[in-house]
């Protein structure tokens, strides 16, 4: 296993621990709300992705990290979200989201 894969797995584990809390705090940016409405992605879909998805990319921007999380909704759509974890996983800011299109 490469160091990068190990880091992604560690972050995925942390994300799942955060998401299974009884009332995890999820702050959704205006941009993300607009994308969710436009793409018919619900907050339930987002929370499901956070519970079961995988961190597939990590970007460091100054003091902040942004994680791309990919997973499947209950209706089998593959969704990717970008989050910025904060406050030792007490809060997550959802930045944007989209449905992944897999070429046929």
pLDDT tens column, 4-39: 777 888 888 888 877 777 666 788 888 888 989 998
Q: Say what the pLDDT of residue 45 is.
A: 92
Domains of the chain (ranges, CATH numbers): 3-99 (3.30.2310)
pLDDT tens column, 33-55: 898 999 899 999 988 898 899 99
Spatial distance between the Cα atoms of 5 and 104, rounded to a whole number of angstroms:
27
Whether residue 47 contacts residue 27, with contact meaning beta carbons closer than 8 Å, is answered with no
pLDDT tens column, 74-95: 888 899 999 888 765 545 677 7
Is residue 64 scored above 70 in pLDDT? Answer: yes
Exposed / middle / buried, residue 40 (Cβ in 10 Å: 0-12, 13-18, 19+): exposed
């Amino acid at each position: 296993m490469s160091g990068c894969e190990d880091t992604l797995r560690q972050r995925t584990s942390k994300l799942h621990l955060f998401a299974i809390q009884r009332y995890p705090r999820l702050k959704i940016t205006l941009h993300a709300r607009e994308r969710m409405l436009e793409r018919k992605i619900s907050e339930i879909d987002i929370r499901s992705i956070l519970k079961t998805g995988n961190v597939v990319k990590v970007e460091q921007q100054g003091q902040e990290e942004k994680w791309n999380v990919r997973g499947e909704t209950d209706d089998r759509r593959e969704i990717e979200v970008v989050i910025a974890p904060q406050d030792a996983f007490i809060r997550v800011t959802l930045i944007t989201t989209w449905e992944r299109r897999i070429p046929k």
